[in-house]
Amino acid sequence: MKPEVLFLSAYIALLSFAFVSTAAAADSKLEKAVRDADAEWSKVAAAKDLDRTVAFYADDAVVLPPNQPAVTNKDGIRNLWKGFLDTLIDISWKTTRVEVAKSGDMAVLTGTYEMTMKDGSKDKGKYCEVWQKKADGKWKVGIDMFSSDLPAQPASSPGPGAAERK
C-alpha cells in the first residue's frame, strides 16, 4: 500500500472519531440543559411560585393529568397548577432518563415525583415530559403527563344503573 493512501485512511479514521466525540459532547450539553431546566422547574413549583411554574410551559402545551380531561391552554394549565399548589405542602420531582432528538430541538424526560398534601396524605408517581427547544434557545414543556404509583381509589358514588339493581 502506498504511504499516501495509508496516511489518508488514517486521517479519515481520526477525523471520524473527532466528529463522533463532538456530537457526543453536543448531546451531553443538550441533555444537561434540559435536565437543569427540569430541576429548576421542580424548585420553582416547590416554592409555590405559580407564575414561574406555569412559565415553563410552551404556549401550545398540553397537560395530561390523571383522571381528568387534557388541559390544552395556558389558562387551564394555570388553573390546574393553582389547584395543586393550594392543596400541597410539598412537591418535587427528579428526572431519571433523558432522550434528546438528533435534531437537538426536542427531548423526552421521564422521572419520579413526590407530593405531600395539606391533609397529610402523600403521593408518589412517575411522569413523562416532552420538552421543545424554542427559537430563543430556551427549553419549554410541550407535553406533561403524570400518574400516581398508588392504587386507584374506588368510586365514591354508585355506578350507573345501581339504583335499578336494588
Question: Is the pTM above the cut of 0.75?
Answer: yes
Q: What is the amino acid identity at position 70?
A: A
CB contact at 8 A, 93 and 47: no
| pLDDT tens digits, 107-152 | 999 999 999 999 999 999 999 999 999 999 999 999 999 999 998 8
| pLDDT tens digits, 22-54 | 344 557 899 999 999 999 999 999 999 999 999
Q: How far apart are CA 35 and CA 31, in angstroms?
A: 6
71: DSSP letter: B
| pLDDT tens digits, 52-83 | 999 999 999 999 999 899 999 999 999 999 99
CA dihedral (135, 139, 141, 143) positive or negative: positive
Nearest to 156 by CA among 79, 67, 84, 64: 67
